[in-house]
């Protein structure tokens, strides 16, 4: 039996099992070890290694400010691989050894990209010297960013299997909330041990902030913290961070709001330079961008959360580009993994 037939057969088996499990009177007949399986569309073909390398290269050579056909083609190639990777497979990759991870990266374009973009970020983070009146951003994954100012490097919501490698290069770490797509325990633990501040509303350390509002000063950054809702059940679950990156940056203000869902709760104290919202948590991003916050630049985030099932809350590149279009504002961009964005106060 060839691979395509095997895949089709296992897909129809999963489809059959899903039907059985969804039918209460038949549940007793389902094999006990089988849970509701994620279905992979058998018509989607994993990109070859050659296609993957070409797509990744195109991602790095193009810019979020200009979604050329080359970049869009590359997103389609990576998306095919995203659409074939089950959440459980991603979880197991995340926990795997370096050797096992490398094998997966050979075979799956999305994991090759996730790993290679981390190398890119690490190298550029080490080499980049930030000019005065500027701040440099790197997009890591989901809502994870590294923010380098002329004086400090700030990490926010970093989720990556290699996150702990960032430790020597960061001055402090911010975590918006206690959902695993927004932090990596190995990095948080290592930073805490190394006495690097890890600020969150849930990690039990010297830097925990449980109040509704607070101002922190770390180095020459001043951070306004405010707790807001994630959804109607998770009230005040998310801490937003309004970071004034200090005088050398030109007092550049970065506003990372994690999975904040209510535009009326977003009340920054200063004009915002760079706004980082979740594009699909119910937040009215067009209103925030065009009417209330009016940032100079918006980095729409939270696509391709691979810990979510293929057909559930794993927003695609296409979804992201649609969200950009809805904002009808050319200061709104969709960064991809590994993207470097230089922001200068003009
Ligand atoms: Zn999230």
User: Contact, 280 vs 164, CB < 8 A?
Assistant: no
Tokens standing for residue 230: 């994630």
DSSP codes, 215-261: EEEETTEEEEEEEE-SSSSSTT-EEEEEEE--GGGTS-EEEE-TT--
Cβ neighbours of 119 (radius 10 Å): 12
Q: 136 to each of 10, 203, 340, 342, how far by Cα in Å? A: 46, 27, 7, 5
Statement: residue 25 has pLDDT above 60: no
Distance between Cα 346 and ligand 1 center (Å): 32
Distance 244 CA to ligand 1 centre (A): 24
pLDDT in tens, 41-83: 999 999 999 999 999 999 999 999 999 999 999 999 999 999 9
CA of 85 to the centre of ligand 1 (A): 19
> When comparing pLDDT for 188 and 312, which is higher?
188
Summary count for the chain: helices (H), strands (E): 9, 13
- Cα of 113 from ligand 1 centre, angstroms: 20
**Distance from residue 292's CA to the centre of ligand 1 (Å):** 23
d(CA 156, CA 211): 19
* pLDDT on residue 21: 37
Tell me the H-state helices in the chain.
Answer: 3-21, 49-61, 69-82, 87-95, 98-107, 109-127, 185-193, 285-287, 317-327
Q: What is the pLDDT of residues 80-122, one digit of tens each?
A: 999 999 999 999 999 999 999 999 999 999 999 999 999 999 9
The whole-number pLDDT of residue 22 equals 36
Locus of tokens 């200063």: 270
How many angstroms separate the alpha carbon of residue 333 from the centre of ligand 1? 19
* pLDDT tens for each residue of 235-284: 999 999 999 999 999 999 999 999 999 999 999 999 999 999 999 999 99
pTM: 0.89
Say how far apart CA 116 and CA 123 lie, in whole Å.
11
Kindly give the distance from the C-alpha atom of residue 6 to the centroid of ligand 1, in angstroms, as a whole number: 34
Instruction: Give the model's pLDDT for residue 61.
Output: 97
Q: What is the CATH number of domain 129-344?
A: 3.60.15.10
CA of 306 to the centre of ligand 1 (A): 11
Task: Return the domain boundaries, the chain.
Answer: 3-109, 129-344
């Amino acid at each position: 039996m060839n691979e395509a037939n095997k895949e089709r057969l296992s897909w129809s088996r999963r489809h059959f099992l899903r039907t059985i499990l969804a039918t209460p009177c038949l549940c007793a007949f389902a094999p006990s070890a089988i849970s509701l399986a994620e279905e992979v569309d058998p018509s989607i073909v994993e990109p070859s290694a050659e296609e993957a390398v070409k797509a990744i290269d195109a991602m790095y050579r193009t810019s979020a400010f200009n979604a050329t056909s080359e970049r869009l083609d590359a997103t389609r190639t990576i998306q095919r691989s995203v659409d074939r990777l089950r959440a459980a497979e991603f979880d197991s990759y995340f926990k795997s050894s370096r050797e096992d991870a490398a094998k997966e990266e050979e075979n799956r374009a999305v994991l090759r990209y996730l790993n290679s973009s981390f190398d890119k970020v690490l190298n550029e983070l080490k080499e980049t010297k930030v000019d005065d009146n500027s701040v440099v951003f790197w997009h890591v994954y989901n809502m994870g960013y590294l923010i380098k100012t002329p004086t400090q490097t700030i990490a926010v919501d970093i989720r990556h299997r290699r996150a702990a490698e960032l430790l020597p290069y960061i001055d402090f770490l911010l975590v918006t909330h206690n959902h695993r797509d927004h932090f990596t325990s190995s990095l948080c633990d290592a930073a805490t041990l190394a006495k690097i501040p890890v600020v969150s509303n849930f990690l039990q350390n010297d830097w925990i902030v449980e109040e509704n509002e607070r101002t922190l000063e770390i180095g020459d950054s001043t951070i306004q913290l405010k707790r807001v809702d994630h959804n109607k059940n998770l009230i005040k679950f998310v801490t937003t961070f309004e970071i004034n990156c200090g005088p050398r940056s030109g007092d550049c203000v970065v506003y990372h709001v994690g999975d904040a869902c209510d535009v009326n709760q977003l009340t920054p104290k200063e004009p915002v330079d760079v706004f980082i919202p979740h594009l699909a948590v119910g937040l009215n991003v067009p209103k925030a961008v065009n009417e209330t916050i009016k940032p100079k630049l918006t980095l729409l985030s939270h696509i391709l959360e691979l810990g979510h099932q293929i057909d559930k809350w794993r927003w695609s590149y296409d979804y992201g580009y649609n969200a950009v279009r809805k904002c009808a504002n050319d200061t709104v961009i969709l960064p991809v993994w590994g993207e470097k964005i230089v922001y200068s106060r003009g």
